[in-house]
Amino acid sequence: MEMDIKRLAKLAKLKFTPEEEEKYAAQMANIVAMVEKLPDLDASGPLIDPDNPMEFRHDEVEKKYSRDELLANAPEVQAGCVVVPKTVAE
């Protein structure tokens, strides 16, 4: 099993140095060898749990939080908004 560490890292929004890539490739190969031990099953049919239907809430605001409280954890805030790097090109 060949794992494309670079591609997976990109998908997972992670970055590795070449040394880390090598280390991860070796470790991931061992882990994948472990998780490959699955029985051969007829993988078809439904997977839902009919005994446990989910109950949804009405779409109404219940808990109330202040904007300032919620933004207190954001790394950068300006005028009540979170700040991120520019996302559109000039």
Partner 1 sequence: MELYRLTAAELSRMMQKKEVSSVEVTRSVFDRIAKKEPEIEAYITLNEENALKKAAEVDEKRAKGESLSSLAGIPVGIKDNICVKGLPTTCASKMLANFVPPYNATVIEKLNASDCVYTGKLNMDEFAMGSSTETSFFKKTKNPFDTSRVPGGSSGGSAAAVASGEAIVALGSDTGGSIRQPASFCGVVGLKPTYGSVSRFGLVAFASSLDQIGPFGRSVEDVAMLYSAICGKDSYDTTTVRREYPRFEEKLTGQVSGLKIGIPDVYFGQGVSNEVREKVMEAAHRYEQMGATLVPVTLPNTDYALAAYYIIACAEASSNLARFDGVKYGYRTSNYSNLEEMYENTRSEGFGDEVKRRIMLGTYVLSSGYYDAYYKKAKFTQKLMQGMFHEAFQKADVILCPTAPDTAFTFGANSDDQVKMYMNDILTVTVNITGLPAISFPCGFDGKGLPIGCQLIGDKFSEQQLLSTAFAYEKAAGGFDLSRTLD
Note the residues at the interface with partner 1 (CB under 8 A): 3, 5, 8-9, 11-16, 24, 27-28, 30-39, 41-43, 47, 52, 54-57, 63, 65, 69-70, 72-76, 82, 84-87
HEC profile of the chain = CCCCHHHHHHHCCCCCCHHHHHHHHHHHHHHHHHHCCCCCCCCCCCCCCCCCCCCCCCCCCCCCCCHHHHHCCCCCEECCEECCCCCCCC
Q: Minimum Å distance from CB 78 to partner 1?
A: 13
Q: Which is nearer to partner 1, 15 or 22 (CB)?
A: 15
Q: Minimum Å distance from CB 23 to partner 1?
A: 9
Q: Minimum Å distance from CB 85 to partner 1?
A: 5
